[in-house]
Structure 1
Amino acid sequence: MPLILKMVKAITGMRFAAIARVTDTQWVACAVDDSINFGLIPGGELVLETTICHEIRQHQKPVIFKHASEDAVYSAHHTPATYRLESYVSIPIVRKNGDFFGTLCAIDQLPAQFDEETVSNTLTLFAELIAVQLDAQADLEAKTIALATATETGILRDQFIAVLGHDLRSPLSAIRMSADMLEAKLPTGREQKLATAIRQSSQRMSHLIEDVLDFSRGKLGGGIPVKRNLVDSLGDIFTGVINEVAASHPHVKITHDVVIPPGIFCDAGRMAQLLSNLLGNAVTHGSADHPVEVLASMQDAHIVLSVRNQGPEIPGTLMPLLFQPFTRSAGGGRGEGLGLGLYIASQIVAGHQGTLSVTSTPEGGTRFVARFPGTLEWTQSS
């Protein structure tokens, strides 16, 4: 702003230049370059009705005169008389949305010598530059406020999720233990089925809570934490997950071929969660008339885990979004959960320096394939 005012003075030959904020009630100086001791400083005010800017606000056109006492219009105008002005230039500043902000003006108590067209065109460009800067500043302030609000909201959300997950775990554990005891003691029949349903619902709720907590931890810490160790029983872990899912979904047939050697460098708990999420997704969205297939093996020092189901083909537009949080795959209305399972699965595989891919065709069904280095040596070399 100071540079623009200096250039205004140089181009017009006048000794006072200012940027004024003009409303329907006030004239306030925003920036001032004063070489005639006019008496205005930034923040200073003039009585609105004594200024020509009051009129410019209404018609939004430049006002220029070089010698007021000889001017046909302004020789009798109250503003030059009030402030003893001979030369005057005032250009409206209009923002991009059409709102009138104020004026870019120059004054002097002496007559000025300049080309009116050149001054009008040049100062109009300056006024447009000022408007652009005002818009940019307003946009920055709005984004800063929005960012602060979003940050605060995000912190509160993450705190809420963490507290909620912690506080829900205890009553859920009590419900599950009670359901286990009832299921074991009740005679076969309706009552035992109710206890089984309670146990299965509590398990599903527990998985949902863990998904939400993992999502929260991943967003806060740059990814879901993975702690890798040498594991000799990864094959047994996968088989255990398959049996658990099969017991919870007796209406679905699951076939599996798991052949994994000992000494796999991985996070055993996260591997169980990975297969549970992939298998749960396949069971939920697959056709009950076709088995779900699980294959796990060691190939070229990599663990390759494949889960395939036969069901509706996933639309091509949805494929790029499958591993994004809160996205559900196509499943024909039997979907459960929050849409975090595949996102968490992808994060677990990424934490193991691997990849998770998906293919889906009407003939071959939908297949998710997780592939990651299975040996410590390969991980260190890569």
Structure 2
Amino acid sequence: APDGSAPDGSAPDCTERPDAADAPGAVALRGEERLLTGASDDEAGPVVAATRYLPEPDWGVTVSVPEAVLYAPVRELTRNLVAASLAVGVLAVLLAALAARWVTGPVRSLEAAVRSLALGAQEVPADATAPGELGELAAAFNSMATSVGERQAALERDRADLEQRYADLELLTHAMAHDLAGPLTGIRGVFDLMASGRIADDAQRELLVERGGAAAQRLEHLIDDLLVLIRAIGTPLQLRPVDLEDLVDTASEQLGLEGVMTRTPLPTIAGDRALLDHVVTNLLTNAASYHQPGEPPRIEVTAQRHGDHVELCIDDAGPGIPEEERAASLEPFFRGAASGTRRGSGLGLPIAARVAARHGGSLRITDSPLGGARIVVSLPTLSPTEAPPAVPAAGSG
């Protein structure tokens, strides 16, 4: 009923629902305007209700919405916010880890490079790709490490070179004491006989003088070769462009050799002109000394390029050098079986080998197509753009 009584006019029974006074309808009939939460609806469950009393026609109006429907957007928003917060948190952790790695990675790389350098190795470069000052520091460290490595390599080469020079000088000292004694003994014997007065025959005196002169000449050649060998071992090189063709032609002319054939163009190389002139002269002299009996000397000179080196090959038609003697032939004062009665100094090939080594090259002995020995001297080439111009040989046209 509009007044809130039962349909039969009796008072409403509220004993079965003790909370009936707070029911949305009762509140509305009392003229109260309220927002009720937690009210129960048997079908929809808890609801949120709004009440209003209308004096005419004495009605209480109630509007209710299930809590599940009303709060669904809020709950959805809450879930979304929680999920977003978790995602942001995880992303923040990842970004922090990446940032830490971005910052500490170059530092760790630099630390590893420093440790590697401290242990004497340069295999671990610092990461120079890092931005800013860390990258600049890493690049500067790498440059320093490269410079240190180059200096260490240079020091190692110098140490090995000094050890080789010391060994060569020690060997040379012992050999000099032995080989200089021969000519000196011969010269002293000639003077002793001449001074004794026992040589009355002019022919004998002339023969003694001739022998003494030959011994003196041999001693002179030996001393000249020793001086060249000492220079090849222990003095700095005077590197200049050297025209090999001019060098060979000049040496052949000075030696009076007419059978020297240059089969290929000979290039310009970087070298010490004086040392190389002595080498070519000695090699041509050796080649001219070894030839078949009754035949004129046959000498061929060729050159072959191999990368940044040129191989100067001098071939002769002599008996050759046995393979078992080739290594020993590069030691001072060695005389092999093929030398026969030749009385050379035994320094020609050793000097050539050491001069080639000082130039950054090498010397080896092989068989010649002419039937004798082939001496192969490897020397560094010279770029055509390098200066100064080639220095001509002394006495050349």
* TM-score (normalizing by structure 1): 0.40
Task: Point out the structure with the larger strand share.
Answer: 1
